[in-house]
Amino acid sequence: MRRLDRALWIVGVVCLGTFILFTLQRRFYQEELNDTFDQMVEAPAPAPTSAPEAPARRMREGDLVGRLEIPRLSVSVMVLEGIASRTLRLGAGHIPGTPLPGAIGNSGIAAHRDTFFRPLSRIETNDEIVFHTPSKKSTYRVVSTKIVMPNDVEVLKPNGKDTITLVTCYPFYYIGPAPKRFIVTATVGETASVEAGAGSGK
């Protein structure tokens, strides 16, 4: 019995230590990304040339995309390219295959429900979502929330509008791998009636 108690105590300490380590790593990395982003915004634009414009650089996993803010919920998170495990541990992730925020189309942004996107449990229709890139600021309004199964990719379909779709696991306080996904859809220049997508989708 003593051995079992000791083993459980050791497991508990290891789990707590891992949680603290990941929390500190996440906080440090977010601060570092914020500083990097601010420097990118402040850097002067290159002088125009008559040479043909070079093709846009292809984003790689972990590249810095921008900053996502939800003012009413005090959310501010740096967004990286991709949805690999390490990427989502350090920030929110831009879902590959969807356009970057600020472009016409449906841009998907994912993050964990127990870290950066936990406040989405309190999001409401018409809440403001702001996305900053080094060259542009886009302001969206929440038009709907819904709960879907993990294989429902219809929520990321293009709709001809400048749209941002936030994705996280659901239920928010589920223990273990959550079985569903919580979806927030927001568009530029639109507001929605309360009936169209009121509340947090619960």
Could you list the active site residues?
A: 112, 169
| Helices (H), ranges, the chain | 2-42, 85-90, 194-197
Looking up tokens 């915004």 gives 41
- Asked whether 108 and 93 are in contact (CB, 8 A), the reply is no
Query: Amino acid identity, residue 9?
Result: W
Can you spell out the DSSP letters for 115-153?
TTTGGGGG--TT-EEEEEETTEEEEEEEEEEEEE-TT--
**Structural Rg of the chain based on CA atoms:** 19
Convert 148-188 into a string of H (helix), E (strand) and C (coil): ECCCCCHHHCCCCCEEEEEEEEECCCCCCCCCEEEEEEEEE
